[in-house]
Amino acid sequence: MPTYDFLCNCGHRFERFLRSYKSANPDCEVCARPTSRVPSRVAMLGAASIPEGDTYAPKSFEGTANGNRELIAIWQRKLETRRKFEEKHPEHKTTREAIAAHEGAFENNPLTYRELASRAEKTGDATAAAAEASRDRGVKAVPKKDVNL
């Protein structure tokens, strides 16, 4: 039974199984008017996509189904594919830096230790450098209250 796509003048498009290529076209399911056969749409199977990175890879022994060798081999192949993809397309490379702060002012733009160290070089004070980074991200600093203990 071949499958055909049909189009009506009302704009409704649908597909239907027919017994033979000689079978009559069915009427429109929406308005009951005659339809005409149209070329089928091409199925986009296996379309290109960016390979999965290590973000999705299992991080624990339990995540690998208790060390399932097949699962580990699958992830090794996926990560190797991603590495080769990143070599060809460096704009998709996953940046891996240690994060110093990721909440509050830094939620959408995390503060990395590299940035914190470069800011703290001037003053030698990491707290002041973090406050400066927070101000640069548009957050007003809350003044400290002196507390005598």
Cross-strand pairs, 119: none
Tell me which residue has tokens 């929406």.
Answer: 30
pLDDT in tens, the chain (149 residues): 678 899 988 888 888 888 888 889 999 988 999 999 988 777 667 667 888 888 788 888 888 889 899 999 999 999 999 999 988 988 788 777 888 888 887 888 888 888 999 999 988 999 999 888 888 888 765 555 655 65
Q: How far is Cα 80 from Cα 49, in angstroms, rounded to an integer?
A: 15
* pTM for the model: 0.40
Residue 16's identity, in one-letter code, is R
Q: Which of these, 105, 114, 106, lies nearest to 142 by C-alpha position?
A: 105
How far apart (Å, rounded) are the C-alpha atoms in residues 130 and 101? 9
Give the single-character DSSP code of 106.
Answer: G
Q: Name beta bridge partners: 143.
A: none
Residue bearing tokens 């033979």: 20
Task: Indicate if the alpha-carbon torsion angle 115, 117, 121, 127 is positive or negative.
Answer: positive
